[in-house]
Structure formats: structure tokens, C-alpha cells
Amino acid sequence: MEKVKKVILWVIGIFFIITFFVYANQIMLPAILILIVGIIILPPINEKIESKLADEEKVKKYKVIINIILFILILIFGVNIPPTQDKIGNQADNYIVNDVSSTINQTELDNSASLAVTETNGKYTGDRVDGKKEGNGKYEWNDGSVYEGEFSNDQINGKGKLTIPQKGIYEGNFVNGKRSGQGTYTFTNGDKYQGNWSDDKMSGQGTYTFANGDTYVGEFSNNKFNGQGTYTKGSNKYTGTWSDNEYKNK
């Protein structure tokens, strides 16, 4: 019976110690208390404490106190323990689908740069070569959008800054009037995307930073989280595979 008791104490103690390392960065205080109790109840430590108490009555009180502390810690830890991985995945899915998609989809509406830069839908001031827009210039669309930067072959090509009223500001590279290559888009709500673009969409490696401080670092495709990436929300990190803004954790 005594051997069985020791085995149980070893199992509980080791479990508590491992638990500390797993959850220390998420629920620090309960995890530290769990670690302390886990060390105390290890048979060698526990036996030393009991031997120093000597008095049988004190030993009984010590055991009662330990059991009470164990019970309280289990209750505290049960309340504060982070959700299981499946629940984390569902929470991340809901958060991202509801909050991220609505923001990222704004880019579908700010495609003024893809429109032809002609004298009929706006005004151009800048360098020309053989009558074509070439070099540095500024183009102002009739809807209020403004591009300042490089032109080539009568189109927006190279580095520049595009400002879309009530949408945001893009600073980076363009190819034939579309965002392509490295660029940064700052939304009017305070969100920001920094990374690669292709055919006017977020595509490739990038970092999306929300106005509230949350971040996603990883792969994008078609303006959505697609591929490997890490979403950081407070002290929690969700790393895994993403598909159309859904967290798969695989």
C-alpha cells in the first residue's frame, strides 16, 4: 500500500511540474503554485518534511493542509486553464472570420490604381517621354484617390504611394497599375499589412497587425490567411495551417 501511495505521489508531482512548463506563459500564478506543490509532494521531499515535523499530530495537520491546498489549486487551475486545442481553433476561427475578413475585404473596393490613368478620369502632373507618362509624377482620380510615384509606359509602374479616401494608404511597388511585390497598406481603422502583393492582392509572406495589437505573421493568398502562419492575441499564439482565414492547427 505504501509503494502504491509513493507511485501516486510521483505521478501527481511530475504531472504538476510538467503542467507548470506547459501553462507558465499563460496563467503564471496558478502554474507557479502548482509547481511548488508538485515539488513538495514528491516522495523524497515529502518524507524529509514529515521527518522534520517529527510530531505525529503535526504530520497529520501537514497532510490535511497539503490536501486542502491541492484541492484549492485544482479548482483555481480548472477555472483558469486555457481551452483545449480544438476549442482554441474554434475561437481563433470565429475571431478571424468575424474581424479579419471584414477588414481585409476592403481591398476589393480600393482598386482605383487598376483603372486606366487617362485624362478623362483624372489629372496627371509629372514627367513625360514622347507624350507618355514616364518617370515621377502624380495622378489624381476624379473620385479623390491620389497616386504619387513612378510611371512607365504610360502606366503606374515602380514605387509609389496610393491614397484611397476612407479606405487607406498603400506604399510600395506597382506593376501595370496593380500592387505587386513588397508593400505596406495602412487601413483607416488603424490596421496595417506589410508584405508581399500579387495582382493587387495580399499574396505571399506578410504581417497583418490589427489596431488592437493582435498580429498574424505568415502566408497570404487572395487577401486571406492561407498557408503556414502564427496568430498572436495577447499572450496566446495560434501556430499552424490556415485556409481562407480558418485556423486548422495541422
Better-predicted residue by pLDDT, 60 or 230? 230
> How does residue 112 score in pLDDT terms, banded at 50, 70 and 90?
very low
CA distance 72 to 189: 44
In the numeric block, the cell 494608404 is attached to 169
Torsion over CA of 111, 114, 115 and 118, rounded to 10 degrees? 130
Predicted pLDDT of residue 117: 72
Residue 94 has pLDDT above 70, yes or no: no
Residue 39 has pLDDT above 60, yes or no: yes
Residue 109 has pLDDT above 50, yes or no: no
Tell me the domains of the chain and their CATH numbers: 2-82 (no CATH), 86-247 (3.90.930)
Q: Which of 97, 107, 93 is nearest to 203 (CA)?
A: 107
- Tens of pLDDT, residues 113-137: 455 677 678 888 989 898 888 999 9
- The whole-number average pLDDT for the span 209-221 is 92
Phi, psi of 52 (to 5 degrees): -75, -30
- The whole-number average pLDDT for the span 171-182 is 92
Tell how strand 122-129 and strand 168-175 pair up.
unpaired
Q: Is 229 exposed, middle or buried (0-12, 13-18, 19+ CB in 10 A)?
A: buried
